[in-house]
Structure 1
């Protein structure tokens, strides 16, 4: 009998214009001091200005930290904690993509519990609920607004690692498509493929169950049905809204079923070569799916039917339709074709494969066992060109 464990779902406000609810939501926590954690891209896009304007007249004492980098490190979190601990916020607003949200979630715990970021990378390190977090995703991708996970690069070894604790789940998720209208096409593409990866991996995970499957199916349907429009017709409010919902549902799915080999293989790319997480997942997804097909063809076929891209075929043929569709979708929305485009040296693949294969927290969820040799072969298929030797 497969054990089932579920996590709470944050209270969610999802509609275009939902940002207008922000001041009222903060007041529910009797907050006087509010910390906004975001990044320079959000500042440059004007999204931060819009968010601050939504708080105008609310008389909160406001502190803004906008220096969050892509693929944040433990030292970045420590430096941020040193700057904000005396401010002692009553509420933390996580504004942006996965990096600001992951940092804000851990920071909220550190404000209550203390310590340094590295100490939280060990099992059961989180002992208490942090300051309330209101997560406002501006990308439809990471699902961090609903997950108990904060991913950081460990400065001690350069490897991406995860803090996992139910205390990290935000209290509120606010999904406003008006904010995502400001995103550039490549960010929409990479983050959308990230969300699709979450849904597919959750659906085929060894830990999947009926609850997670229901969210994964709907996430795949929404993402496949709306990602092209969100990328190519970026000012369409409806497709942006449905992508935010698809990402949210995918986040619920993988929170409860886990992700697997795609994410394990993506970690070395991000930790060692600063490849954005969504881009790494985009490049690897169809090749991991092809590897996994012998173990989960029926599930791939089911997703193809749910997404409306096939019907009536046998499982193997239906699975092939989905794999080809995912590869073509990546190409159509501008994902680079092959790891070689990212200047990853070919000689690095065996070491990355060893590292990825050792991430058992993720690999154990994969429907087919992945050895270091298997991982290297997947990397080689994803390389997409004659392998470099330097």
Structure 2
């Protein structure tokens, strides 16, 4: 097993609140953050930022004239990154790398500029630089004044955890001492909602008060719901005294595509990524898994089948946060990682308030976190609290 990597800070901008205390407090109640809103000529269930966070983002936008033209996906990443580096004690002059990705990127600005183009045949001067995927990491680098590498990528819904893998690779290669990794997504726009509805995966009703029925294995229809936000983690080599948790293992795998959004019945990609992440760790040592579980019939079931294949009769406790905050695409993996870290720190398992009947673990020492993107691009990360 390779040397562990410390997570010395983790921060998010999400419907759950503006700091770890509010995030954890929201996880302790069984209410969903999902509500129905209007998008153009239609209505849809979504999970948006809280009013407090909307105000925080607005203040950031107004704080610098250069920030007024940025997409929300960039501003969310800026907010989360500022908080994370402050937590980690990475003061001015600290050199660290940045890898923050996104599935959709500047969706809001893309739609705005494209609408302007259809109406006038022209587009704004800043249309190109403010809609490139690379502008998330580059603006975070500018804001934090670091001289390390600044990388962006898009691997759909596993983007944030792929960023974490990349940061670990740089650290273990000796090319960086510290890395800021994560994902950001601002997809609550009419065109993005329409795309998801066209795939026939979107929630249409709020069964028992929960529009997204992630991990409900009895559901008869798909119930995915979009959420927004950003999540980032500060990584450092070795076991640091100020670590919140340690990355003990990482795994990744892909599948042979059958169609654009395919995944096999027993999620072969997840079986491979989980086994790689476990490495020499016995499956019996894993106390819980934060699943990707997007709330679709096949997505939830295939991941569950993969876990059964890997763990057999010794199943860890299973959970997900999609029922509460929706699916934030490229940011979702880091928000799942945040839930795992908080459970390790507070020694309390957060269950899904419906669906699976399972025993609550008495201890939480090792938690596995899963994410997968369109086409079976899976990542698994094994965390420990010791």
TM normalised by structure 2 equals 0.33
Higher relative contact order (CA 8 A, sep 6+): 2
What is the TM-score when the length of structure 1 is the normalising length?
A: 0.33
Kindly indicate which of the two structures has a greater share of residues assigned to helix.
Answer: 1
